[in-house]
A and B are shown apart, each in its own frame.
Chain A
Amino acid sequence: MSVAGRKIAEALLELEREGALSWEQRALVERRVTEALAGKGDGAGRFISILAALGGVLVGAGILYLVGYNWDQLSKIQKLAIVFGVWLSIHYVGFRLAEPPGGYPRVGRAVTSIGILCFGGAIGLVAQIYNLSSEYPNWVLAWWALSVPFVLLTESTAILLLVIALFLVWIFWHTGTLVDRFDQHIDHDFFAAFALVGAGLGLLWSSLGAWSSKSRFGHFAPVLAGLARPAAIGAAYALSFKDFWWDQMDTPGRSGEFQWFTPLHGGLHAQAFVPFAALSLAGLAALALAAWRARERERVFEGLAFFGAALALAANLWLWPRGIFLLANALLLAGILVLVYTGIRRGRPADINWGIAAFVLCVATRYVEYLWDKLEGAYAFIGIGLVLLGMGWVLERKRRKWIALSVGRVA
Chain B
Amino acid sequence: MSRGRLWIAALAPQVALLVGMVAVEEHGRATGAEVVLEVRAYDPMEPVAGRYISVPLAISRLDLTKIPHPEPIPSYGSRVYVRVTKGETTWQAAQVAAELPESPGGLEGLFLRARVESPWNPEVSKELRLAYDIDRFYISEDAEDPSVWRMNDTGRRRLAVVARVTASGRAHTVDLLVDGRPYQEWNREQRRRSAGK
Q: Are B14 and A146 in contact (CB under 8 A)?
A: yes
Is B3 interfacial (CB-CB < 8 Å)? yes
Is B151 interfacial (CB-CB < 8 Å)? no
Of B84-92, B95-103, B138-146, the stretch lying at the interface with chain A is B138-146
Q: Are B22 and A80 in contact (CB under 8 A)?
A: yes
Q: Are B173 and A130 in contact (CB under 8 A)?
A: yes
A95-154: which have CB < 8 Å to B?
Answer: 95, 99, 119, 122-124, 126-135, 142, 146-147, 149-150, 153
Min CB distance, A172 to chain B, in Å? 14
Query: With contacts defined as CB atoms under 8 Å apart, how many contacts are there between chain A and chain B in the complex?
Result: 81
Report chain A residues within 8 Å CB of B22.
80, 126, 130
A147–B17 CA distance with the chains assembled, in angstroms: 12
B34-61: which have CB < 8 Å to A?
Answer: 48-50, 52
Q: Are B25 and A130 in contact (CB under 8 A)?
A: yes
Report chain A residues within 8 Å CB of B141.
68
B137-180: which have CB < 8 Å to A?
Answer: 137-138, 140-141, 143, 172-173
Please encode chain A, from 163 to 198, with 1 for each CB lying within 8 Å of some chain B CB and 0 for all others: 000000000000000000101100000000000000
Report chain B residues within 8 Å CB of A131.
52, 134, 136-138, 173
Is A292 interfacial (CB-CB < 8 Å)? no
Given contacts A88-B11, A124-B50, A134-B133, 5 further A-B pairs with CB under 8 A are: A71-B140, A132-B25, A133-B136, A146-B13, A181-B77
Report chain A residues within 8 Å CB of B172.
130
A135–B116 CA distance with the chains assembled, in angstroms: 12
Report chain A residues within 8 Å CB of B67.
none
Known pairs A130-B172, A132-B25, A142-B17; A153 contacts B133 (CB<8 A): no
Min CB distance, B88 to chain A, in Å? 25
Residue of A nearest to B54 (CB): A133
The secondary structure that dominates the B interface is mixed
Q: Are A183 and B119 in contact (CB under 8 A)?
A: yes
Which 7 A-B residue pairings sit nearest by Cβ, starting from the closest?
A149-B10, A131-B173, A130-B25, A128-B138, A133-B136, A71-B140, A146-B14
Q: Are A68 and B7 in contact (CB under 8 A)?
A: no
Residue of A nearest to B2 (CB): A99
Is A269 interfacial (CB-CB < 8 Å)? no
A166–B77 CA distance with the chains assembled, in angstroms: 26
Min CB distance, B9 to chain A, in Å? 7
Q: Are B119 and A184 in contact (CB under 8 A)?
A: yes
Is B107 interfacial (CB-CB < 8 Å)? no
Is B83 interfacial (CB-CB < 8 Å)? no
Min CB distance, A169 to chain B, in Å? 10
Min CB distance, A267 to chain B, in Å? 15
Known pairs A72-B140, A133-B133; A128 contacts B49 (CB<8 A): yes
Please encode chain B, from 168 to 197, with 1 for each CB lying within 8 Å of some chain A CB and 0 for all others: 000011000000000010010000000000
Is A91 interfacial (CB-CB < 8 Å)? yes
Residue of B nearest to A120 (CB): B48
Is A84 interfacial (CB-CB < 8 Å)? yes
Is B127 interfacial (CB-CB < 8 Å)? no
A124–B49 CA distance with the chains assembled, in angstroms: 6
**Which of B15, B48, B143 has a CB less than 8 Å from the CB of A72?**
B143
Residue in B18, B141, B187 with the greatest tally of chain A CB atoms within 10 Å = B18
A294–B25 CA distance with the chains assembled, in angstroms: 46
Report chain B residues within 8 Å CB of A142.
17
B1-36: which have CB < 8 Å to A?
Answer: 3-4, 6-7, 9-11, 13-15, 17-18, 21-22, 25
A76-102: which have CB < 8 Å to B?
Answer: 80, 83-84, 88, 91, 95, 99
Report chain A residues within 8 Å CB of B140.
68, 71-72
Q: Are A124 and B14 in contact (CB under 8 A)?
A: no
